[in-house]
Structure 1
Amino acid sequence: MDDLDRLLIVTHAATEKLNEEEVFENDHRNVFRMSVPVYQDAIVAALIVAEMPEITRIATIGADYEYGRTAWEMFQNTLEEYRDDVEFVAEAWAPFLTTDFSPHVSSVMAADPDMIFTTPWAGEAVGVIRQAQQTGVFDDIEMWWQAMGGSADVLEAVTDDAEADAFQGKLWGTGRYLFNWPETDRNREWVEAFQERFDRLPNYSAQTTYSAVLALRDAIEAAGSVDTDDVAAELAGMVLDLPMGEVEIRAEDHQAVYAVPAGRIVYDEGYETACVCADLYEFEAEEYYRDPPFDQ
């Protein structure tokens, strides 16, 4: 982006290496991100499990690339700061576009885990959840953590099972935005407008993309210019009031900072779909975002 003299505003990609290394360390000042990184998938999960003494044996069915491996490592490292009685008992790694998760499910279940931490997402998340449920996994575990399980496409796909209580209250998830949170008029109005236009509930990427457009608009207006350096200078440190809450674009690493809760995935009669709307853990962003200078 430096060579092109253009801005890149990321609205979905999760790697912490974008803000921690590429922006903060390597000083790519034209790059910004409006979505919470893998801190949401991993650190939030660890903070919740830290309060669950019944969970001591943990396995992963992981996406076999950067996202899955970083999330698992970050989850383990964070949890070990709070608990010295947990064991990480099994790992099964699923390549991108895996459709048959039965070997992965069987492999980790052989280790008798209390919890399974899973990072396949979108259609793969639906596949691994369904295959686990169909083979009785939810009878034998205390918690299934589905990273990005709060994505609207995943929630729609598991709605019938959630309504039938097939997951027995053991399916947990979060997202980079949840359509049912924050419980403000601004968010409710935005969700209703989205539904009216697109006839569906918004995925988290819809909100983060919308937020990126508003941030860019405000930066251009504040700069009085479309010059890349001028607009980037306005974006860095900007604070916005958005449907997903108050968001600060950190000046040091150009990471949007905002909080998203996590909780159990259950059926909700009001939304007529599954949602992350039971036993919500509402952490402040400062509790789980890593801060500059990071590891330095």
Structure 2
Amino acid sequence: MAVITAPRRRTFMIAARPPRSRSDLARVAPAAALVTIVALAVAFGPLLVAYAPEAQSIAERLRAPTADHLLGTDAFGRDVLARLLAGGRISLAIGLLSMGITVLAGVAVGAVAGYFGGSVDALLMRATELVMVFPTFFLIILIVATFGGSVALLILVIGLTSWPVSARIIRGEVLKTRHRDFVLAARAVGASSWRIIARHVLPNVAAVVIVSATVRVGTNILIEAGLSYLGLGVQPPLASWGNMVADGAKVIRTEWWLTAIPALAIFVTVLGFNIGGEALRDVLDPRRRPLR
């Protein structure tokens, strides 16, 4: 009598990665702690400050730090601490959300170009190079100067002009991954190209995506700060770290802290994301690890 057996379910494994060690986590921990502190401060700090960031008081203008105003007041009598925390929310939101757009566009273009190759790759890479020909910052300035500097527009413009670098990085990783055994096996059993990209290729380039996204947040915060400093970014009465630096620069000889405090916030935040990106690169890429 014939014995009928159930067909085996075919599964394809993600390429194995070496286990993480305590030293790996120690590399990421300082940057993670720094970014977490900044994020918690801007998220919950405004709830603990007695002053509204837009509240003006001419009698209190340009006051040095005191018990009532821990970081002093600006030229309009607004509490600097309140504006620093509120501005941090906007600067971080622009950095994070624009990064999301950048990564989504970069992953989509890079994965499709790298996996399909041929004319598809050539067409997408020519389009990528066309965008890269224009200096990104000046292109953003042109668009924002034409259509205004709303927060939503800043997020959209920064995100949509920053994707080519991510796309080229992802493409390079996909080109190496598409010839791996588990991808070839998935093709052999008839899996569609889109399923292979989603289930087998992208999980194996996730480390590169994470590193690129982390570094991109800091870069986008700097772009927003530069635009706001030039008067093309976040517009008053909304606060951002960039326009706070610009406001403080007008009285930097006498009230230097009005520039130094938001500039320090930008420096610390960008440093945290950049160090985090470098640490993640070392942890997630075995080739960059020191020999033990």
TM-score scaled by structure 2? 0.31
**Larger-Rg structure:** 2
The TM-score with structure 1 as length reference comes to 0.30
Bigger strand share: 1
Higher helix share: 2
